[in-house]
Structure 1
């Protein structure tokens, strides 16, 4: 499993936990769905920036 998918799986588990907590607190379903969509977007952006391969550096300059 790549580090990208591992990061996303962990973030999805976090989102599910937060959504269940919001439901138990009585938040309206519409706002839970909006929050989940926003958090999924943040998770994808975070996963791509954290797991992006860096460009190889050029030869050292002295």
Structure 2
């Protein structure tokens, strides 16, 4: 799976979480902090899953 495809899927997932938090009435500051944390986790996991393996 390519990095871009992984990040598009994660962006859709993150958008759904943000939308749910807004509907639930979570303060915008907490939504911003949480989304930055989840974005960092998404980038780390995308890089680790899509990087090419080193030859042995």
Into which bin does the TM-score normalised by the smaller protein fall?
A: over 0.9
Instruction: Point out where structure 2 has 5 or more consecutive residues left out of the alignment.
Output: none
Q: Say what the alpha-carbon RMSD is for the aligned residues.
A: 1.0
> When the two structures are superposed, what TM-score results if normalisation uses the length of structure 1?
0.86
CA distance in structure 2 between the aligned counterparts of 1:25 and 1:3, rounded to whole angstroms: 33
Q: Which has the higher helix share?
A: 2
Which structure has the greater CA radius of gyration? 1
Question: Relative CO higher for 1 or 2, CA cutoff 8 Å, sep ≥ 6?
Answer: 2
Following TM superposition, where does structure 1 have runs of at least 4 consecutive aligned residues deviating by more than 2 angstroms?
Answer: none
Q: TM-score, normalised by structure 2?
A: 0.94
